[in-house]
Amino acid sequence: MNQLDKKKKVLLISSSGGHWIEMRRLEVAFENFEKCYISTNPNYHQSITEGKFYAVPDASMWDKFHLLGQALKIFFLLLYLRPDVVISTGAAPGFFGLFFAKKMKIKTIWVDSLANVEQLSLSGQKVKPYADLWLTQWEHLSTPEGPYFHGAVL
Amino acid sequence: MIFVSVGSQLPFDRLIKTIDDWAATHQNETVFAQIGNSSFIPQNIEFCETIDPINYSKRIKDADLIIAHAGTGTIITALELGIPLLIMPRLAEKGEHRNNHQLATVKRFLNFPLIKVVEDETLLLSTLNQMLKDKTLNTDKVKTTVSEKLITTIKNFISE
């Protein structure tokens, strides 16, 4: 196969629940990409129609011990998967996904969750230096220096 | 069937207890609740701690009404399926979340015809009874789509 014919690969990574449901709505932007997914609920593989799913340990930004295990697994998965783009809606797994991806010179996209109306999420604030495209879904939270607003998933 | 969900992260016993007590006196209504990692054991309704995507889809499609915390996952799902949704936000001062972001989230959805938001248990019960009586509520399926501009922005960014 010619190198040019090779499909680009996107990694979609988020924690479970609303973050995951919001992120799946962004899939339409990646119609010609090979897809792979990382989340914290192992059952989510059931909802994937194409591409591979990998589970990582659950942890919040307030739980340092489990965060470390989660970060390590995400790091090794990134080395193994080598995506061209990483996109996330949050929270902790998305932060680590973008953090390591940026170091590996992979394109990174952050779309902060709709759940954060009054201020950007904690992970959304911390991810700023590692997000090549840094977005909020609330116009009033956008600033000229980012995060930027270009619409929402509903 | 009434589907109750409090999300996968934290318990929300104030909501579950209220619905469980209500169900004791409304035995003609079937209630299924996803209650999270909770120490409270419901007595009058069917429940589970967490639910996998296949069972979630099955259960929620059969629902005539969804009662939930203000989680965006449930809100999006209810709107997509056109199922009326009754929301009671979690409160930080009652230890139900780390902060009061759910109070802010619901403001965004106050004008959706299928969504009702209540601030406490008393209003939860009166609104629940009203919604069950109000058959007209379940007619309009609200079409929710992802913003085209958002998708175009991402597409342009990845093809750069």
Q: What is the pLDDT of residues A44-67, one digit of tens each?
A: 999 999 999 999 999 877 788 899
- Partners of residue B5 on adjacent β-strands: B34, B68
Structure tokens at A55: 């589970």
ipTM of this complex: 0.93
**A142's tokens:** 């956008």
pLDDT (0 to 100) of residue A4: 59
Residue A97's pLDDT is: 98
Residue B86 lies in domain: 2-159
What's the CATH code of the domain at B44?
Answer: 3.40.50.2000
| Residue A62: per-residue pLDDT | 75
Contact B157 A132 (CB under 8 A): yes
Q: Say whether A134 sits in a helix, a strand or coil.
A: strand
Q: Using one digit for the tens of pLDDT, what is the confidence trace for B67-98? A: 999 999 899 888 888 889 999 999 999 999 98
A62 touches chain B (CB under 8 A): yes
DSSP for A21-90? HHHHTTGGGGTTSEEEEEES-GGGGGG-SSSEEEE-----TT-HHHHHHHHHHHHHHHHHH--SEEEEEE
- What part of B 91-120 touches A (C-beta under 8 Å)? 98, 101-102, 104-105, 107-108
Q: Work out the burial of residue B27: count CB atoms within 10 Å of its CB; fewer than 13 is exposed, 13-18 middle, 19 or more buried.
A: exposed
- What distance in Å separates the CA atoms of residue B45 and residue A91, rounded to the nearest whole number? 32
Residue B112: what pLDDT? 83
pLDDT at residue number A1? 47
- Residue B135 banded pLDDT, cuts 50, 70, 90: low
- Cα of B105 to nearest chain A Cα, Å: 6
pLDDT for A15 equals: 94
Which tens digits make up the pLDDT trace of B41-72?
Answer: 999 999 999 998 889 989 998 899 999 999 99
Q: Note the pLDDT of residue A101.
A: 98
Residues A12 and A27 sit within 8 Å (Cβ to Cβ)? yes
Mean pLDDT of B102-131: 91
Flag if B158 and A85 touch (Cβ within 8 Å): yes
Interface residue B147 vs chain A (CB under 8 A): yes
Q: Supply B119's token pair.
A: 């601030």
Residues of chain A with pLDDT under 70: 1-5
All residues of chain B having their beta carbon less than 8 Å from the beta carbon of residue A87 are 154
How does residue B138 score in pLDDT terms, banded at 50, 70 and 90?
Answer: low
What is the Cα gyration radius of chain A? 15
Q: Do the beta carbons of residue B145 and residue A151 sit within 8 Å?
A: no
Domain A3-149: CATH superfamily is: Glycogen Phosphorylase B; (3.40.50.2000)
pLDDT value of residue A127: 98
Q: What is the DSSP letter of B26?
A: -
Residue to mutate among A26, A61, A117, with most B CBs inside 10 A, is: A117
Q: Which residues contact B109 (CB under 8 A, 6 or more apart)?
A: B75, B87, B115, B117
Average pLDDT, integer, range B22-34: 95
Closest residue of A to B107, CA-based? Answer: A117
Residue B125 has pLDDT above 60, yes or no: yes
Count of CB pairs separated by less than 8 Å, A with B: 111
Query: If DSSP codes are grouped into helix, strand and coil, which group holds residue A136?
Result: strand
- Whole-prediction pTM value? 0.86
Total domains present in chain B: 1
